[in-house]
């Protein structure tokens, strides 16, 4: 039985994904794994909003999604970023299909907080059937973070959140967060694997700091309460072959201080 691996590409990296990243996705399929790609595109959305002179505001660091902002996001996600990733994967020998959460629909959502965030969705139902069907015929889905609201409406959703929903619904064992860093560093060296407990200690002692904190916190959220056993943080911009990144594994009961490594990519 094929093992699903959900790969989340952040908005800051999608334009700079390396040839090695796409080759790595191809190798997943060769290893009997089934990749499912979920992408953001915040930087490209920002550029288009500025070009089209559409006002965009942030509340507590989150973009408030008005109808105009959502129209631009739809155009960028599904008209630019998604086809670009599909084309690059096809160059690497991966057969793809471009989707959004509205297709199916795969994610049915309600408004999270309309007054504060506007047209941002919170999932009320996730249906993996479409993903199961397209992967069964050998296609790799590439999914934008738009989801289905009520009465055919579209809603925006954080791509990390969407990736976690797809991972749980598919029973995926791994999620890969593609970033612009090689992994978690300690004394200048990439740590090949750590546990949830290790991460908490490293945040407390300052080993993990700055922009890496939200990345590892997103990883911990994915591990919590889902089927996912490990989250791997990899550098999507590096062309260094075989770069493994850092794999964060669940801390087992009785292994709060000592742990054994699990297998990882």
Q: What is the pLDDT at residue 34?
A: 96
CA distance 115 to 64: 9
pLDDT tens per residue, range 162-178: 998 999 899 998 898 88
CA distance 136 to 95: 12
CA distance 6 to 99: 14
Q: What is the pLDDT at residue 89?
A: 97
Hey, which CATH number is domain 4-249, 3.40.1160.10, 3.40.80.10, 3.30.420.10, 3.40.225.10?
3.40.1160.10
Q: What is the pLDDT at residue 210?
A: 73
Please choose, from the candidates 181, 17, 30, the residue with its C-alpha nearest in 3D space to the C-alpha of residue 88.
17
The annotation status of 43 as a binding-site residue, yes or no, is no
Is the peptide bond between 105 and the residue preceding it cis, with omega within 30 degrees of 0? yes
The annotation status of 63 as a binding-site residue, yes or no, is yes
CB-CB neighbours of 198 under 10 Å? 22
Q: What is the pLDDT at residue 240?
A: 60
The annotation status of 42 as a binding-site residue, yes or no, is yes
CA distance 5 to 9: 13
The annotation status of 24 as a binding-site residue, yes or no, is no
Q: What is the pLDDT at residue 159?
A: 87
Q: What is the pLDDT at residue 140?
A: 98
pLDDT tens per residue, range 63-85: 899 999 999 999 999 999 999 99
Contacts of 50 (CB under 8 A, 6+ apart): none
Please choose, from the candidates 134, 133, 127, 40, the residue with its C-alpha nearest in 3D space to the C-alpha of residue 96.
134
Domain boundaries, the chain: 4-249
Q: Which residues of the chain have pLDDT under 70?
A: 1-2, 11-12, 61, 211, 214, 225-226, 239-243, 252-265
CB-CB neighbours of 19 under 10 Å? 12
**Do 102 and 147 form a contact (C-beta atoms < 8 A)?**
yes
């Amino acid at each position: 039985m094929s093992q699903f691996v959900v790969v989340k590409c952040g908005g800051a990296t999608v334009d700079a994904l390396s040839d090695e990243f796409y080759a790595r996705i191809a190798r997943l399929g060769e290893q009997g794994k089934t990749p499912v790609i979920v992408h953001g595109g915040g930087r490209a959305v920002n550029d288009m909003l500025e070009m089209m002179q559409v006002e965009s505001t942030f509340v507590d660091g989150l973009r408030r999604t008005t109808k105009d902002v959502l129209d631009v996001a739809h155009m960028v996600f599904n008209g630019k970023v998604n086809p670009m990733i599909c084309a690059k994967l096809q160059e690497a020998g991966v057969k793809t299909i471009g989707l959004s959460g509205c297709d199916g629909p795969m994610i049915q959502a309600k408004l999270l907080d309309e007054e504060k965030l506007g047209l941002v969705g919170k999932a009320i139902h996730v249906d993996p059937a479409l993903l199961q069907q397209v992967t069964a015929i050998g296609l790799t889905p590439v999914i934008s973070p738009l989801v289905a609201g009520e009465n055919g409406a579209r809603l925006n959703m954080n791509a990390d959140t969407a990736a976690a929903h797809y991972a749980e619904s598919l029973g995926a064992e791994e999620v890969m967060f593609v970033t612009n860093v090689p992994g978690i560093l300690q004394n200048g060296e990439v740590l090949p694997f750590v546990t949830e407990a290790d991460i908490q200690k490293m945040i407390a002692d300052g080993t993990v700091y700055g922009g890496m904190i939200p990345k590892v916190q997103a990883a911990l959220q994915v591990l919590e309460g889902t089927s996912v056993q490990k989250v791997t943080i990899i550098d999507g911009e590096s062309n260094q072959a075989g770069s493994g990144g850092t794999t964060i594994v669940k801390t087992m009961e009785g292994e709060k201080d000592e742990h054994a490594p699990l297998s990882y990519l």
